[in-house]
Amino acid sequence: MTTVYPVKRRQFLIGSAGLAGAAVTGLPAIAQEGGKLPAYVAWKDAGDMIVHTDETLETMRAAQGDALVTPSSDLYIRNNLPAPSEEIVADRDAWEVSIEGVAEPGSMTLGELKLLGSETVVAVLQCSGNGRAFFDHEASGSQWATGAAGNVIWTGVPVRAVAEALGGVAADMVFLTGTGGEEIPEGLPPESIQVERSVPVEAMEQAILAWDMNGEPVPLAHGGPLRLIVPGYYGVNNVKYLKRLAFTAEESPAAIQQTGYRVRPVGVSGDPSQPSMYEMSVKSWITGPLEDAETGEVRIEGLAMGGTSAVTGVEVSTDGGESWQEAQFLGPDMGPYAWRPFVLVADLDAGTHTLASRATNGNGDTQPETFEPNERGYGHNGWRGHAVDVTVG
C-alpha cells in the first residue's frame, strides 16, 4: 500500500512545517472527534481519536482510561512532515542506518542490528505540546489536551551496544543525533525541514533503536522500520524512520533543533540559547469521570508519570485542591519511564466537583498548581489546568 500525497497538499504541509519554528502553523484548527482517519492510519480506532489534521491525531481523554499500555490503534500521531511511503517497511531487515561519530563508522542494516542484542523498555511517548490547550495565551500549534501521550512497549537494541560494536564513541562527542528518513524535496535546504534531533550523549544510557512496538513491528506511522527511543525525553527526540545515528560534537543544525522546541517567554522567537525540550517532567491527569457521575461512591481514574524518574505517588482532590487523598496505583510497576494508572474511590455528594490529580516522582518533584506560559505552549504539567469539573447527581 502506497500513500500518495497530492502535490499541492504536500507543498502546503512542508511549507507550514518549515514555518513551525516561527510560531506559524498555517494548519486549519479543525478538530473532529471520531472524525475520518487519514488513509495512512486508517487502521486506528476512529472512535478513540480526535483528528486535528491529517498529521496530528490525539487520543481522547476518556479512551486513555486506566490502560497500562496504550494500544497502537489508540496512540497519537504527530508528523512534522508527511510519513514516507509504505515501501520502506516492505523489507524491514534491509533498512539501513548510517552510524557516525564512533571509532569505526559505517552503515548497518536492521537485520545486522538485531544480532547485537535486544532490550524491552516501557516508556511514555509524549509530545512537547501535550497540554497546550490548557494555557490561556493561545499558543500556536495543535491544541492538544491530554491525548498527545501514550505508554508504549518498545523493543530494540541498546544504543550502547551499537556504539560498542563499532569501537566505541569517538572522543569529544557530547550529543547523540538522530535523523529521520523522510525524503526532503529538491530545492529546499534540508536543515529547514529535516527532522533531526540531538540529545545530550548521556541519554544513550537508556536509548534504544526500536523495531518492535507493543509486541509487533513498529508501524510505519509510528516510525518503522526503526525508531530511536529516548526514554524519559519528549516525543520529538524519538526520531521515526531513523536513517542516521551520529555521536556529534555539536547540536544538529536543523531548524527543529536550533529554533524549534525551545522554551522561551511568550512573544519571543526561538534560539539555541534557550532550553530545549529534552527531559519530561512529572505529570498526571484524570481520565474519568470527565463530565458527570452519580452520587455516592465514584471511581476516579487517571494516569501518572514521573518523567525521567519513576512516579512514586499521586494524590487526588475532589474539591479543587483544598484537600488531597492518596490514590492507589493499578497493575505492575513497569519501570521508571512508564506511566501508572491510578484509582481513588470517593464518596461524592450532588453538585459540581472539581477533580484534580497531583503526582510526585523519585526526585521529589511534585506537579505545580500552575505552569508559567511559554511561547509555544510546551511542557504544561500544572495540576489546576488539567482538573475537570464533574456534575454529580
Ligand X SMILES: Nc1nc2c(c(=O)[nH]1)N[C@H]1C(S)=C(S)[C@@H](COP(=O)(O)O)O[C@H]1N2
**What minimum distance in Å lies between the beta carbon of 56 and Mo ion?**
9
Distance between CA atoms of residues 305 and 123, nearest Å: 10
Q: Does 141 bind Mo ion (CB under 5 A)?
A: no
Q: Does 224 bind ligand X (CB under 6 A)?
A: no
> Using CB under 5 A, which residues numbered 50 to 79 contact Mo ion?
78
Neighbouring C-beta atoms of residue 376, cutoff 10 Å: 24
Coil, strand, or helix at residue 147?
coil
Tell which one of 21, 101, 235, 289 touches ligand X (CB under 6 A): 235
> Using CB under 5 A, which residues numbered 233 to 262 contact Mo ion?
235-236
Q: DSSP characters for 5-69?
A: --HHHHHHHHHHHHTGGGT--------EET-PPPGGGTTS-GGGEEEEETTEEEE-HHHHTT-SS
> Using CB under 6 A, which residues numbered 170 to 189 contact ligand X?
180, 182
Site track for ligand X across 116-155, x = CB under 6 A: ---------x-x----------------------------
**What minimum distance in Å lies between the beta carbon of 316 and Mo ion?**
28
Q: Does 213 bind ligand X (CB under 6 A)?
A: no
AA identity, residue 160: R
Stretch of residues binding ligand X (CB under 6 A), selected from 7-15, 24-32, 132-140, 234-242: 234-242
Binding residues with ligand X: total (CB under 6 A): 20
Interaction partner, residue 80 (Mo ion, ligand X, none; CB < 5-8 Å by kind): ligand X
Nearer to ligand X, 81 or 334 (CB): 81
Interaction partner, residue 238 (ligand X, Mo ion, none; CB < 5-8 Å by kind): ligand X
Nearer to ligand X, 69 or 75 (CB): 75
Q: Label each residue of 168-189 as H, E or C.
A: CECCCCCEEEEEECCCCCCCCC
**What minimum distance in Å lies between the beta carbon of 103 and ligand X?**
27
Nearest residue to 95 via CA among 198, 209, 251, 16 = 209
Site track for ligand X across 50-89, x = CB under 6 A: -------------------------xxxxxxx--------
Nearer to ligand X, 20 or 311 (CB): 20
Site track for Mo ion across 217-236, x = CB under 5 A: ------------------xx
Coil, strand, or helix at residue 307?
coil
Exposure string over 70-80, b if 16+ CB within 10 A, otherwise e: bebebbbbbbb
Stretch of residues binding Mo ion (CB under 5 A), selected from 123-131, 187-195, 225-233, 242-250: 123-131
Distance between CA atoms of residues 273 and 262, nearest Å: 9
Nearest residue to 87 via CA among 212, 186, 180, 3 = 3
Distance between CA atoms of residues 235 and 237, nearest Å: 5
**What minimum distance in Å lies between the beta carbon of 66 and ligand X?**
21
Distance between CA atoms of residues 37 and 44, nearest Å: 8
Any idea which residue has 518492535 for its cell? 212
Q: Does 243 bind ligand X (CB under 6 A)?
A: no
Query: Residue 147 — φ and ψ, nearest 5°?
Result: -90, 10
Stretch of residues binding ligand X (CB under 6 A), selected from 30-38, 230-238, 350-358, 375-383: 230-238
Nearer to Mo ion, 101 or 232 (CB): 232
Return the H-helix or E-strand segment holding 110.
Answer: helix 110-113
Distance between CA atoms of residues 322 and 378, nearest Å: 27
State the residues that interact with ligand X by CB under 6 A. 75-81, 125, 127, 180, 182, 195, 222-223, 235-236, 238-241
Binding site for Mo ion (CB under 5 A): 78, 127, 235-236
